[in-house]
Structure 1
């Protein structure tokens, strides 16, 4: 059978039969791929723990009729090792994996940007940025905004999402697409303060220095709005997001 090789991050796994697993991968070149790992649940498996969620691997796959088959896997990093000892970090990472899986709905649709964003977010979550560690909610907020932007669902933060009137405006409505003016705001719109708007703008651009010195209260408000926006535009609630501790 023809084979191909790619770098990938394991998003999730499912049992198949007595000893196999279906592995969902986000590949650098091929996008999301679902493949079978034969015998991986046996203690004698040569893959061992290389194909668990959070694993960053170099994989070789053989093309199959319905599912490709993993023939080789070499571990590059295991981001889970950096997260498993901290509940908040681990559930935040699980949310990232779920978001990546959901946004890459079409298999074999290349999206190197989603792959690189997820890889970078997991690395920052476990090791921090060049200027030190960052709170897990802030990293999650940035990842949600930037992954949604890549998928075409970026919130409007500089003008009214409904009428296009230039901002800044006072209101935020997830169902409307972001910032809204007083004339367009639907019932139940949130009213973030200036610091909250500033943090969301920094998170969507990945401006980590600008997130320094922000109070915990502002972080909570901003990440809460971002989570509401992500939940609305992904049609169904994110299961892992419900487990992330609310500070």
Structure 2
């Protein structure tokens, strides 16, 4: 087996290891999730300390270790943290993206190029202030869950497939539901919020940023509830948005 390999990846999480090292969790283009040791990265004179912070997009050379791989070389591609960290709204929304990606991609070493590209695109959009941050989060959550096999129904009935639009909405059922299939406790979101969910899921941003604050908030809340239901975990960063 080749002892080294190179890949580009996005740092989604870090935690301390010993006095000077860190364990870096990345979502990579060709190797899925990778956990690797960055030795000496917490030293003041570290060669690549700043390049291994959350939000960093880098080209990395890894050495295969017995339990954890080791980062041996780093070349920065995009320092997304520099554009995101100074703005509280964008930073907290970016934290949701990283946390969700970390929770969603479970198996290490298994390629998940679609999730990688989606995260990369969402961070690029956030860093360049292309859309409202809360809508970038909503779009990312919807599309990430769809890639994972949990696509939200925004038109037809999620239970029987009856043609929509429908006014009832059930997270456990998988989205909009007709009156015949409506479970007890179903929500009744606005048609505008359902329409915005549908647009964001399809990647259609035309007019999305001009929706009312109430519609944007409702859309983000529905997308968040959908993601957390299927992840079976609370996305802690959402509480700060």
| Equivalent-residue separation in structure 1 for 2:236 and 2:87 (angstroms) | 19
TM-score, with length taken from structure 2: 0.96
8 Å contact kept, 1:62–1:68: yes
Matches of 1:134 and 1:40 in 2, distance apart? 34
CA deviation vs aligned residue, 1:145-173 (integer Å, no higher than 9, x gap) = 01111111111122211222222211111
Work out whether residues 173 and 186 of structure 1, in 8 Å CA contact, stay in contact via their aligned partners in 2.
yes
Report the counterpart of residue 65 of structure 1 in structure 2.
Answer: 66
Worse-superposed segment, 188-197 or 229-238 = 188-197
Confirm whether residue 170 of structure 1 aligns to residue 173 of structure 2.
no
The 8 Å contact of residues 132 and 209 in structure 2, kept in 1 or not, is answered as no
Counterpart CA distance in 2 for 1:191 and 1:203 is 19
- What is the match of residue 140 of structure 2? 143
Question: What TM-score, normalized to structure 1?
Answer: 0.94
Match of 2:196 in 1: 199
Deviation readout 1:74-107 (Å, 9 max, x if unpaired): 1111111111111111010000001111110111
SS of match in other structure, 1:231: helix
CA contact 1:161–1:177 (8 Å) conserved in 2: yes
More divergent stretch after superposition (201-210 vs 49-58): 201-210
- 2:12 equivalent to 1:8: no
Q: Mind listing any 5+ residue stretches in structure 2 that lack a counterpart?
A: none
Do the aligned partners of 2:29 and 2:116 also contact (CA within 8 Å) in 1? yes
Q: Within the alignment, does 1:107 sit opposite 2:87 as a pair?
A: no
Report the counterpart of residue 243 of structure 1 in structure 2. Answer: 240
| Structure-2 separation of matches of 1:168 and 1:45 | 57
Tell me, which stretches of 5 or more residues in structure 1 are unaligned?
A: none
Measure, in 2, the Cα distance between the counterparts of 1:19 and 1:48. Answer: 10
Contact 2:196 2:208 survives alignment (8 Å): yes
- Tell me by how many angstroms 1:214 deviates: 1.5
> How many residues get paired?
240
